[in-house]
């Protein structure tokens, strides 16, 4: 009986722990727009607190020291922006100027591939030839219709000396390929065309889904950027009230005064010191 009760209580504890973890994850996910700026501000407070403390040792108020740091960071960001924007603008202008050339090269390459396909396949695939001809006309432009030549009233009989053969356009020599290569190309074309026929009807739906996901991602990024506006506010108060927080944070632990509360506070203080050392060490590594 005791074994059954023990197993029941173990299962009950597992269920309660799982429910707590699930509720905690749901709460964190719901409060993510608030918690992320707070976390970023806390990390920055860990990194900037030694600088604020050093300025305070030089007979400067804590608020004034924070204002000096914020002003310096703002000036640095403005200078970086002033240097980056012209560079990006110049590179964008160069890309826009060279884009027609890239487009022309890509179009010529596609037309070459289509012409080679027509030479290889030839008359064995009339449908594929018409499709490729349509692509060529789309890429190069539809040729203007030929104006009908007027019918002469009386065609004079040319003399043998003045007879000229009609002028014909000399096309490039067709590519010399073997029958095995021709069969391989025809087999590949037979595989590709059914796939195109199967995927083209759903192409519009796929493009629409991509657009919806892009809009949702853009709105999510926009909301995240707007939430970052709160980071300087949180950072200011964390740096300003750091001495008071350090003295009185133990009073906010949901435990009554007891040795257990002291042990938990000591463990949290130790973890906090390790976290501070980690972030400051990472900053030094990045600077080096």
Q: Is residue 41 part of a domain?
A: no
Domain count for the chain? 1
280 lies in some domain: yes
Q: Is 175 within the bounds of a domain?
A: no
Instruction: Supply the DSSP symbol for 202.
Output: G
Residue 51 in domain: no
Residue 69 CA to residue 60 CA, distance in Å, equals 12
Phi, psi of 161 (to 5 degrees): -75, -30
What 8-state DSSP symbol labels residue 154?
Answer: S
Query: Is 98 a domain residue?
Result: no
pLDDT value of residue 185: 62
Which residues form the domain of 273?
Answer: 253-287
| Residue 122 confidence (pLDDT) | 54
**Quick check: 157 pLDDT over 90?**
no
Distance between CA 128 and CA 201 in Å, rounded?
Answer: 18
Assigned domain for 2 exists? no
Which tokens is 104 given? Answer: 């022309």
> Residue 268 domain-assigned?
yes
DSSP string, 7-41: HHHHHHHHHHHHHHHHHHHHHHHHTHHHHHHHHHH
The average pLDDT across 83-93 equals: 87
260 confidence band (pLDDT: 50, 70, 90): confident
For Cα atoms 140, 144, 148, give the angle at the middle one, nearest 5 degrees: 155
In this structure, of 115-124, 240-249, 278-287, the range with the lowest mean pLDDT score is 115-124
In a domain, 279, yes or no: yes
Give the highest mean pLDDT range of 66-70, 163-167, 262-266: 66-70
75: confidence class by pLDDT, cuts 50, 70, 90? very high
Task: Specify the pLDDT at position 3.
Answer: 74
């Amino acid at each position: 009986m005791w074994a059954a009760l023990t197993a029941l209580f173990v299962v009950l504890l597992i269920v309660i722990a799982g429910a707590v973890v699930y509720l905690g994850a749901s709460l964190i996910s719901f409060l993510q727009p608030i918690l992320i700026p707070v976390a970023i501000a806390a990390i920055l407070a860990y990194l900037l607190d030694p600088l604020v403390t050093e300025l305070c040792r030089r007979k400067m108020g804590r608020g004034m020291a924070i204002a000096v740091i914020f002003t310096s960071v703002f000036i640095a960001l403005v200078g970086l922006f002033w240097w980056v924007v012209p560079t990006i603008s110049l590179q964008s202008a160069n890309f826009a100027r060279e884009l027609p050339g890239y487009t022309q090269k890509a179009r010529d390459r596609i037309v070459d591939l289509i012409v080679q396909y027509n030479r290889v396949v030839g008359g064995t695939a009339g449908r594929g030839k018409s499709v490729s001809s349509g692509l060529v006309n789309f890429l190069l432009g539809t040729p203007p219709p030929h104006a009908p030549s007027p019918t002469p009233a009386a065609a004079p009989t040319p003399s043998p000396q003045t007879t000229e053969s009609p002028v014909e356009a000399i096309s490039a020599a067709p590519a010399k390929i073997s029958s095995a290569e021709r069969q391989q190309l025809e087999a590949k074309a037979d595989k590709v065309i059914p796939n195109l026929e199967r995927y083209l009807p759903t192409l519009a739906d796929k493009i629409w889904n991509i657009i919806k996901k892009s809009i949702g991602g853009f709105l999510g990024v926009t909301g995240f950027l707007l939430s970052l506006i709160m980071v300087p506010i949180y950072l200011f108060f964390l740096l300003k009230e750091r001495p008071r927080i350090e003295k009185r944070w133990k009073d906010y632990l949901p435990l009554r005064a007891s040795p257990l509360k002291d042990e938990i506070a000591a463990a949290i203080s130790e973890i906090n010191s390790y976290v501070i050392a980690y972030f400051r060490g990472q900053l030094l590594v990045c600077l080096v």
